Amino acid sequence: MERTYLDQCLKDGLTVRWPDSAMPIRVYVAPFRWYEKSKQNESYAYNQMVFDAFELWSKVSEGRVRFQQVAQLDGSQIDVSWRRVDRKSLGHCQYLVNQQSLLYSAEIKIGISDGLVHGQYNDMDEVKHTILHEIAHALGLIGHSDAGDDIMYVPHQYGVINISQRDIDTLKTLYKLPPAFDYLAVGRKFKLKEPFTLHQVLDHLEGRSEAAGKKIDFIPPPPPENPAVLQSQHDILSHMGKFHLATQNIKVDPALKKMFIAKKHSPPPH
Ligand SMILES: [Zn+2]
């Protein structure tokens, strides 16, 4: 099994996440209320569970994702609301991604059991599982894990009520990489033997692969600037260009061509 399940979270081959400039992400949580008076305390607990879940994801990301609670739907970026759970799913997350593969809006719906369907789901810990799971979708873990211990595994595993180390590693890797990370392009740039996986590219970048030897920056730094070298390269190129124009009968603007020919035959200066 791979160290993360980030390869399950790609859209058109690219990673999907919020830009760093979006932090803190503005979150609106709709108030949750049972109609029965006897359940008022539970209402508070459900709302608190959502705030705790955001806090937990922020903490395990080591601050790479951060949130700010807002009091109004207007101006929020992630909205959380409640609904009666149905047989199809316990929770739901709908997210919007722009053309740069950046998240800019997400809507989470958390299912609450009325005791009629999903009997086991009456346990608040299981609702916590759903909250943690749906928030992770909203952060860019848009796919699902292949390990039952992970919060992002489907179907919902009863008794799994916390984020696993693999969940943490997947989110941290996502936010450590530049947005819209294109592992195919990067792997080809480093001439990895095809076909290669996202994890083979990550191993190479982070110096874990045999071939890599030492840690490589994601984007190799440009060579140090040397004005004299740059100028001479520029001169060589422009000379080559002139040479080309003068010797080849290529498609040159007729006026320009005339000028060159005229120059050639012009009498030496006085
Ligand atoms: Zn899911």
pLDDT band at residue 123, thresholds of 50, 70 and 90?
confident
Provide the mean pLDDT of the chain. 82
226-238 confidence digits (pLDDT tens): 555 545 555 555 5
What are the domain boundaries of the chain?
Answer: 6-176, 227-265
**Which of left, alpha, beta for 180 (phi over 0: left; psi -120 to 50: alpha)?**
left
Rounded CA-CA distance 252/26 in Å is: 57
Average pLDDT over residues 99-123: 84
Which of the two residues, 28 and 124, has the higher pLDDT score?
28
CA of residue 141 to ligand 1 center, whole Å: 9
Tell whether pTM > 0.85.
Answer: no
For residue range 74-96, list pLDDT tens digits in order.
Answer: 889 999 999 888 777 889 999 99
pLDDT at 206 over 90: no
Question: 78: closest CA among 122, 135, 119?
Answer: 135
Q: Which of 96-105, 166-175, 205-214 has the lowest mean pLDDT?
A: 205-214
For residue 60, the CA-to-ligand 1 centroid distance in Å is: 19
Instruction: Please check whether the domain covering 6-176 is classified as CATH 3.40.390.10.
Output: yes
Secondary structure in 3-state letters for 160-217: CCCCCHHHHHHHHHHHHCCCCCEHHHHHHHCCCCCCCCHHHHHHHHCCCCCCCCCCCC
Task: Find the 47 Cα to ligand 1 centroid distance in Å.
Answer: 20
111 close to 86: Cβ distance less than 8 angstroms: yes
